[in-house]
């Protein structure tokens, strides 16, 4: 799994486009809450990016930020506590404490120094911070919030650039993934695609498996059952993956199980293969439905 410091970079990129911004981070929760600690959003005078849970909570926080942005002249921070009950028009029943930080373009040099930091220490006002009764692993007795800046990303390898592969790439765009797309020829890929997709083509894709990072998710859905089987065998031989999925029916799974057994793989090896792929709640065999189902499964795997 790769890590990328996207939080600070997002602040810098947004601040380059706006004179002032507010950044909101959930620092603690109690009881039921729409999102957990470390969820964040950025608010400008006209726009908002990210989410801390939507609904009235997000509406109220956005209003607070925009009102403050009208007068704030330098870096500042405050902590607000919100009860998620009828008074806020929410039914969660818990509470959320949010840290709001206000940035000017003059703060860009200092923000640039934080791009390589793994943890950001926020020193909070102990007189204002509503600490009692909250629950957070990120708060210590001195009321300092330690924020993990790196966002974990999982490596996703899609083997096959057919219709289903294309739909899966479209459906996984917003998930925390480093996406790799593999097939036997360059012309099998679409002419245009997201720039953050790593495209790889090789006459014999099985030779690639030993060179990929450990702990990736591999989904096998090429144009050929024979190639699917060869890739599965190569991946099982190296045994360096997190999840290994194979598109197909229970019949295909049984056929592959028989062939893999004859090739010398044990039952424990074969049981690592997830087939069919996707969450069972989403029915249908159209590529876009399969892709939505698979995206849901990947989302669960990367939580």
Per-residue pLDDT of 5-29, as tens digits, reads: 578 889 999 999 999 999 999 988 8
**For residues 163 and 135, which has the higher predicted lDDT (pLDDT)?**
163
Q: Are 108 and 8 in contact (CB under 8 A)?
A: no
For residue 262, what pLDDT is reported?
96
For residue 1, what pLDDT is reported?
44
Which CATH code for domain 152-301? 3.40.50.720
Q: Pairing between strand 119-123 and 95-104? A: unpaired
Q: Collect all residues with Cβ–Cβ distance below 8 Å to 16 and sequence separation of at least 6.
A: 105, 108
Per-residue pLDDT of 190-219, as tens digits, reads: 999 988 899 999 999 999 998 898 899 999
Per-residue pLDDT of 113-159, as tens digits, reads: 888 777 777 877 655 554 443 434 344 445 678 787 776 789 999 99
Q: Pairing between strand 95-104 and 76-83? A: antiparallel
> How is 85-148 classified by DSSP, letter by letter?
SGGGT----SEEEEEEEEEEGGGHHHHHHTTT-SEEEEE--TTT---TT-B-TTB-TT-EEEEE
For residue 159, what pLDDT is reported?
98
Per-residue pLDDT of 93-120, as tens digits, reads: 678 889 999 999 999 999 998 887 777 7
Q: Which sequence spans correspond to the domains of the chain?
A: 2-149, 152-301
Structure tokens at 140: 């210590």
Per-residue pLDDT of 42-76, as tens digits, reads: 999 999 999 998 888 899 999 999 999 999 999 99
**Counting Cβ atoms within 10 Å, is residue 83 exposed (0-12), middle (13-18) or buried (19+)?**
middle
For residue 131, what pLDDT is reported?
43
- Quick one: which of 119, 146, 101, 121 has its CA closest to 5? 119
């Amino acid at each position: 799994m790769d890590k990328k410091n996207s939080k600070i970079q997002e602040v810098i990129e947004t601040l380059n486009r706006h004179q002032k911004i507010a950044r909101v981070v959930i620092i603690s929760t109690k009881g039921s809450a729409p999102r957990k600690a470390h969820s964040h959003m950025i608010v400008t005078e006209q726009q908002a990016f990210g989410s801390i849970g939507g609904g009235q909570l997000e509406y109220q926080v956005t209003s607070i930020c925009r009102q403050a942005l009208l007068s704030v002249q330098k870096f500042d921070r405050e902590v607000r506590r919100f009860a998620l009950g009828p008074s806020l028009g929410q039914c969660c029943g818990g509470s959320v404490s949010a840290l709001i930080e206000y940035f000017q373009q003059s703060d860009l040099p200092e923000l640039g120094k934080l791009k390589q930091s793994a943890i950001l220490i926020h020193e909070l006002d102990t007189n204002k911070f509503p600490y009692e009764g909250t629950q957070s692993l990120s708060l210590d007795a001195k009321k300092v919030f330690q924020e993990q800046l790196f966002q974990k990303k999982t490596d996703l390898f899609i083997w096959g650039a057919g219709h289903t592969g294309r739909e899966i790439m479209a459906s996984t765009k917003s998930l925390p993934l480093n996406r790799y797309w593999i097939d036997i020829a360059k012309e099998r890929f679409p002419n245009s695609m997201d720039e953050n997709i790593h495209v790889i083509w090789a006459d014999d894709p099985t030779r690639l498996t030993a060179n990929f990072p450990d702990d990736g998710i591999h989904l096998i859905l090429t144009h050929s059952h024979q190639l699917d089987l060869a890739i599965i065998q190569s991946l099982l031989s190296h045994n360096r993956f997190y999840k290994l999925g194979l598109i197909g029916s229970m019949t295909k799974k049984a056929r592959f199980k028989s062939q893999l057994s004859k090739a010398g793989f044990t039952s424990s090896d074969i049981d690592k293969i997830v087939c069919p792929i996707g969450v069972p709640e989403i029915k249908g065999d159209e590529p876009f439905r399969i892709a939505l189902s698979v995206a849901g499964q990947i989302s669960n795997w990367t939580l």
